[in-house]
Amino acid sequence: MGLTNTFFFDTYAFFEILDGNPSYAPYSKGVSIITTKFNLLELHYGLMLQCGKEEADQKYDEYVDYTIVVEDRIFKKASEFRAQHKERKLSYVDCVGYIIAKTVGIKFLTGDKQFVDLENVEFVK
């Protein structure tokens, strides 16, 4: 299916863009974003610790329109994927995002080292 210039934003990608990492500049404009509320939960928590509740709320609200509902079949596939790669110690949130990206035919944007050599990953440090 593949959506041109559309990426699944892992929480890692959001933090790198917000921190101004120049490697993520190509992904900060002119691309479409898909993510989940689970990723925004991680983002909100991290921003609350770093910057406070007001900024965390503002960024959550800014990105919430890019979230999609996670279907049961995705949860099951994510669980299978996590079990297949248990030595990587992947989080449930990351596995759900990766499976969503693969299912809809877009790249999983992350700099998380556990994903560096997996297919369908746009790995950026």
Task: Judge: domain 6-123, CATH 3.30.365.10.
Answer: no
The values of phi and psi at residue 12, to 5°, are -55, -45
Range 38-63 average pLDDT: 98
Range 62-66 average pLDDT: 98
| pTM (predicted TM-score) | 0.94
Nearest to 33 by CA among 57, 65, 61: 65
Domain ranges of the chain: 6-123
Nearest to 39 by CA among 83, 88, 84, 101: 101
* pLDDT for residue 4: 67
Bridge-based pairing state of the strands 32-34 and 6-9: parallel
pLDDT beyond 60 at 1: no
Q: How confident is the model over 11-47, as pLDDT tens digits?
A: 999 999 999 999 999 999 999 999 999 999 999 999 9
pLDDT interval class at 65 (50, 70, 90): very high
Structure tokens at 37: 């509320």
The values of phi and psi at residue 107, to 5°, are -80, 145
Nearest to 94 by CA among 36, 48, 47: 36
Range 88-103 average pLDDT: 98
- Per the document, the length of the chain is 125
pLDDT interval class at 2 (50, 70, 90): low
